[in-house]
Structure 1
Amino acid sequence: MKIRCAVLDDYQQVAMSMTDWSVIADRVDVKVFNTHIESEDELSAAIDDCEIVVIMRERTPFRRALFERLPRLKLLVTTGMRNASVDLAAAAEHGVVVSGTRGGGEGTTELTWALILGLSRRIVRENEALRTGGSWQSTVGVDLNGKRLGLLGLGHIGTNVARIGQAFGMQVAAWSQNLTAEKAASAGVRLAASKDELLESSDFVSIHLVLGDRTRGLLGSRELGLMRPTAYLINTSRAPIVDRDALIEALRSGTIAGAGLDVFETEPLPVDDPLRSLPNVLATPHIGYVTEASYQGFYRGIVEDIEAFLNGSPVNVLS
């Protein structure tokens, strides 16, 4: 009898085409769910016969209560090598191995720049006017050349964002709690004297930090108030790094000029959420990692993780 495996949240219906599943087809029966199941009751009923579950990033959290309702579950595979929505302690207590995967491509870097360019040139507004017969040339764009780009975080993605900013002729600075002058210099970036100095001096502030105890709520009302009223905030990292209520108030009051957002505290974003309708927000539905290269890497890794587990030697185990 084959082992049952559920692949959750395959919104684009590409899970079975992104890699070769044939290497485990004789041992695993895969069922794919293309829509998000919000209710824990419905989800546990749908997958309670599965020994293996695959999740895409943080679309479906796995908390202790869910592990308790899935006694057959033996392997949970998550895309990426960290997932804040999985209770690893609960998984271990219930005898569930949690394996991660490595993606590929530079999707988040590229989307960061799509948001910056979309905001600076008012692309959505101008495109809508063109499509509907509205005003011709109704806005004046913001130049990037000569402007200041401030990066909160200078890891892999932050460094690549910096490189592209430099190509646009921007002055790039960065800050994080552990960033050194040597690391900044190696990327050709100025190390900001402090977080406050970075916020006060930047025309665009882009967040590229890992969510943790030190970064949760890093930007609140005080920090957003330090930004220029002509400045834009970009977040393709994790939503809780910015205080949600403070951000909405800053956008409504004109404390900042606008925001480009790809991440939200509740996903999918509720239909009545103000971030869907504020005119100075350019938002995308957490698609930074949703590219062919990333998906091919993720799903290839998923199959490799499952095969290794079936062979008795789990790999990429998270703890």
Structure 2
Amino acid sequence: MKVRCAVLDDYQNVALCMADWSTITEDVDVRVFNKHFTDENELVNAIGDCEIVVAMRERTPFGATTFSRLPLLKLLVTTGMRNSSIDLAAAAQHGVTVCGTGGVSHSKATVELTWALILGISRHIVLENRAIQTNGSWQTTIGTDIYGKQLGIIGLGKIGTDVARVGKAFGMEVAAWSENLTEERASAAGVRLASSKDELLKTSDYVSIHLVLSERTKGIIGAHDLQLMKPSAYLINTSRAPIVDQAALIDALQNRSIAGAGLDVYEIEPLPESSPFRSLPNVLATPHIGYVTRSTYEVWYSDAVKDIQAYLAGSPVRTLS
């Protein structure tokens, strides 16, 4: 009898063509779900007979209750090597092995999307395109320059550093801040170390967030911080939504205390139809596609297949704990 495997949240219906699943199909019955399960009961009913589950990033949470309701589950594979939506302690308690996948070492996908949002919102690309295609209107907005403006980066890790490099190529002044950022690290990246978070927010024309979500960074940008920003400034978030107080951000956008925001991440995903982020005219919103590229998917799904092979052979690889 074959082992049953569920592949979750394959929105684009591409999982089976991004890797060679034929290497395991003799032993594994692979079942792909394109629809996102927002309800735990629905999820459990769909995958309750599966021993293996492949999860796409943090789209579907696996907490203690979920594990307790999936007694047949033995292997959970997550794309990437970190997933805050999986309770690893609960997985271990219920005898579930959790494995990750590698990434694309050269991938600049999130960096590229960050700049797509900056350029798109500063030049009103979507609005101008819509005007041309719907009613033929010509030059309906006035763009905002990025040359000579200050780009403020919150979190100067690998992605933040690459975003800074592009900003400098565009002729921007680049400053950075995070709680542990040093002068030496900022200088190595060729950017100015802001004296404080407040100073960065007050002086920047574009603020781009590149932090890992943690208890320390959750809500690090709140109502007070947004009030410090220039009325002409834009906030860009391609990291994680809870880093920014979402209610405060909506208020700032509605009241035009900041010029706008480019967003790829949200507290609830897919984004509810009632969310103001879907309708605010000063928001450029994308559906969490920072990592959604062919090269990334090919690595993730190929490694997922290898994780399943290793598990079936009794020697799991890339285990998370």
Flag whether TM exceeds 0.5 (same fold): yes
Could you give the per-residue CA deviations for residues 192-247 of structure 1, whole angstroms, max 9, x where no partner exists? 11111111111000000000010000011000011000000000000000001100
Could you give the per-residue CA deviations for residues 164-207 of structure 1, whole angstroms, max 9, x where no partner exists? 11110111111111211111111111111111111111100000
Whole-Å separation in 1 of the counterparts to 2:20 and 2:302: 7
Counterpart of 2:9 in structure 1 is 9
Whole-Å separation in 1 of the counterparts to 2:296 and 2:67: 27
Alpha-carbon distance, 1:21 to partner = 1.3
Whole-Å separation in 2 of the counterparts to 1:3 and 1:179: 48
**Residue segments in structure 2 that go unaligned for 5+ positions in a row:** none
Counterpart of 1:45 in structure 2 is 45
Whole-Å separation in 2 of the counterparts to 1:190 and 1:226: 19
Alpha-carbon distance, 1:29 to partner = 1.2
Equivalent position amino acid for 1:196 in 2:
D
Report the secondary structure of 1:143's partner residue. coil
Identical residues among aligned pairs (%): 67
Report the secondary structure of 1:101's partner residue. coil
Counterpart of 2:148 in structure 1 is 146
Counterpart of 2:68 in structure 1 is 68
Regions of 4+ moved over 4 Å: none
Equivalent position amino acid for 1:149 in 2:
L
Whole-Å separation in 2 of the counterparts to 1:22 and 1:176: 46
Counterpart of 2:28 in structure 1 is 28
Instruction: Tell me if structure 2 keeps the 8 A contact 1:103–1:295.
Output: no
Report the secondary structure of 2:16's partner residue. coil
Alpha-carbon distance, 1:103 to partner = 2.4
Instruction: Tell me if structure 2 keeps the 8 A contact 1:103–1:293.
Output: no
Counterpart of 1:97 in structure 2 is 97
Report the secondary structure of 1:16's partner residue. helix
Instruction: Tell me if structure 2 keeps the 8 A contact 1:103–1:296.
Output: no
Whole-Å separation in 1 of the counterparts to 2:226 and 2:74: 44
Counterpart of 2:244 in structure 1 is 242
Is the counterpart of residue 308 in structure 1 residue 310 in structure 2?
Answer: yes
Report the secondary structure of 2:86's partner residue. coil
Whole-Å separation in 2 of the counterparts to 1:64 and 1:214: 23
Counterpart of 2:197 in structure 1 is 195
TM-score, normalising length: structure 1? 0.98
Counterpart of 2:300 in structure 1 is 298
Counterpart of 2:267 in structure 1 is 265
**Residue segments in structure 1 that go unaligned for 5+ positions in a row:** none
Counterpart of 1:256 in structure 2 is 258
Whole-Å separation in 1 of the counterparts to 2:232 and 2:110: 24
Whole-Å separation in 2 of the counterparts to 1:314 and 1:156: 29
